[in-house]
Amino acid sequence: MSALTDPAGFPLTGRFIALELLDKGHVAELTRAGSDERIWKHTSFGRNPESYFAEAFAARDGRSMVPFAVRLLSKDRLVGMTRLLDIDEKHHRCEIGYTWTVPEVWGTAVNPEAKLLLLGHCFERAHLRRVQLKTDSLNVHSQAAIAKLGAVREGVLRAHMARPDGSQRDTVMFSVTQAEWPAVRAGLEARLAAFD
């Protein structure tokens, strides 16, 4: 077991949120939290809680992904999910994805702190060289949010995925490298300071 996936390394806790390893006790609250259709508009998996959680638990148990529930500490409630995926220990890389949060926390400290915690875990604890993030080419809000983190836009993977409705999705790829991490960290910390 690696430092990236070792359950002993979690939860990841900040000032505003905690990222808790997904367990069965989270499912009912997350299902309620994810009931707003705006959350799922640009996802590749759509809103089907039963298959979504079954896939998350299977990936967790097979160690191909590390799924987290996002807990808002001030209200002690779950407000979304995120995952580490595409884990490649040989080449020291992974991806942050499957991220969603309830609309009421959009534009707050939740997303930047989640990325600070995850990227810190990846680069400082697991010593990865690269962390990638990707999003639908139509999801301009997500692209702006990823760029605001300090991630570098690498390009577009054309005809990369199918959307839940069967339409073709182009995917915009971003990444942060180990060398870029100190500057990205400083930027995220500065953003979070504005919420104090």
User: Could you tell me if residue 20 is inside a domain?
Assistant: yes
CATH code for the domain of 137: 3.40.630.30
Q: Is residue 117 part of a domain?
A: yes
26 domain residue, yes or no? yes
Average pLDDT per consecutive 10 residues, the chain (196 residues; last block may be shorter) = 87 98 96 87 68 91 93 98 95 96 95 98 97 94 93 96 87 98 97 92
Interatomic CA distance for residues 171 and 137, integer angstroms? 5
Quick one: pLDDT at residue 126?
96
Could you tell me if 61 and 50 are in contact, meaning their C-beta atoms sit under 8 angstroms apart? no
Q: Specify if 51 maps to a domain.
A: yes
- Please indicate, yes or no, if residue 184 is contained in any of the structural domains: yes
| C-alpha Rg value of the chain to the nearest Å | 16
The residue to which tokens 């069967």 are assigned: 166
Domain of residue 97 covers 7-193
- Kindly state whether residue 54 falls inside one of the protein's structural domains: yes
- What three-state secondary structure class fits 10? coil
Check residue 46 and give its pLDDT.
60
**Alpha carbons 46 and 37: distance in angstroms, whole number:** 9
Q: Report pLDDT digits (tens) over 64-104.
A: 899 999 999 999 999 999 999 999 999 999 999 999 999 99
Q: Give the rounded distance of the alpha carbon of 159 from its chain centre.
A: 23
State residue 190's pLDDT score.
Answer: 96
The count of domains in the chain is 1
Determine, yes or no, domain membership for 2: no
